[in-house]
Structure 1
């Protein structure tokens, strides 16, 4: 389905720190802090802090998985991306990685078609991807906003850290370290979902709501007072290609019957979807701006998400597929 252009969601957001942030750089330093904030060079040969898209995608995926797990207890509806099949520990039963399942299968048996990989994957892997599937969701690196770059400057502080001796409750000898944290800065980035099922848009909408309210943390030291931020949605657009429609629709409605069956798209559960605003036309694209109404517009998508998680066949479907063909 990624070879076709059916629909697309583009969401521009700003990230404003509530607490100090630390996105650790992989580069070693000489004479500086033990942990330094990641930087890049963009303008005038000067470095500036940024938040890598990989960090943002990992944060959003992790939080989205928590939402899915909150909607159904047993069996758990999403996999653990790092967990190898047959190496589950206590509390990890039937949560092995979809991608690692497929990789092991392809090494021993034969390739799997893209429709089968998608239809057999857990909800998180369907949206964010795995070792065997690129996914529908993408993030850009978050750079300083133009306004902040013109009117302000990033502020860093050096914070001391120390390990605690679990026996004495005091400082563990030789375990002191320091870290460079960002205390002032504003970032902008873009999230994109290409060829989405409607429930996928609902899941991202729930994550965005909590990001707006400062309930999501990013980076290092999230349990130590670091990483809190709030997001501001500056632009929210949905695009349909060669389709001028009135209400929010996803792939299960827009794709052909053959593709819907092959990829096992989840049927949309309600027909009373809120009306979309009048679109602007750009060639084959019809672009709907939901910046001021995205929460209300995504209500049907959230209802789809709840029904989908209740009904999702994973992990039974992937277990039966692997067992039946190995």
Structure 2
């Protein structure tokens, strides 16, 4: 491990030196590559530097034990010096795990009402609001690609783009069945109902990475419409794109411009096909990404939102929080940080086997 860390430190210093070279600033592409690599190596290099300092302090303190005059002072400082060195060494290990290459990407999020009828559609709308507020707190932007609303304001299905540095790293564990337990707005007797909605999170694919043959596309235009079939657009600006080889269909009717709808629909199509390609390349990784989205059945849940008890439970890591109002208002960091920590611990365990 320490040999690898030394190599990273040497590379980091070399990149820092390159930034002082005037020729680098005259080459925009080279400067971008250098800055990107520095950004990736910086956390590891800085953590290694801090550990080296702590390790040096520990060894110097241990050396003082042989000095009769300084032994008492060294014995007093030794536990703290050892604890600090061990803490920083433990912090280094996760930094050496292979980085998810998609972590810096934008994401496409798709939410669908599952089992539970209108109540599941209303819950799907609540989940969209939750993610919208969370994205805003993180400084991400959100663009709705397509939505199918119900008469009561629920969501049968909705697709949206979340754009911002690290969006995938924060959203990737949200894929799965989300279960809700609450008294529906449509329930007059006050009985608690259980329903569910599914969430799928896909990394946005770049055009340069995944080429789509235009000849494989069937593109149809139609009039955008709202709940109950009421037309919200008198021109055929809505777009439906069908990828003929796979049968994948994407619709976008959020914008009044046919060009913008087509552009957004292509982003979603590209991401879906990219995800399918990743699935073929690495079934295990794809399974983790999808995180058991399943059929939308309540029993396949990854998380439960219990409104009467103001409780949210993530079943994958056994974490329960009694702050449901905050979570539904986009305060998701505690849940997501815990999921990231659990994933890191599991990958470390496998690496050490």
Instruction: Tell me if both proteins adopt one fold, taking TM over 0.5 as the criterion.
Output: no
Larger radius of gyration: 2
- Structure ranking higher on relative contact order (CA contacts 8 Å, 6+ apart): 1
TM bucket, shorter chain: under 0.3
**TM-score calculated relative to the size of structure 2:** 0.25
**TM-score calculated relative to the size of structure 1:** 0.27
Larger helix fraction of residues = 2
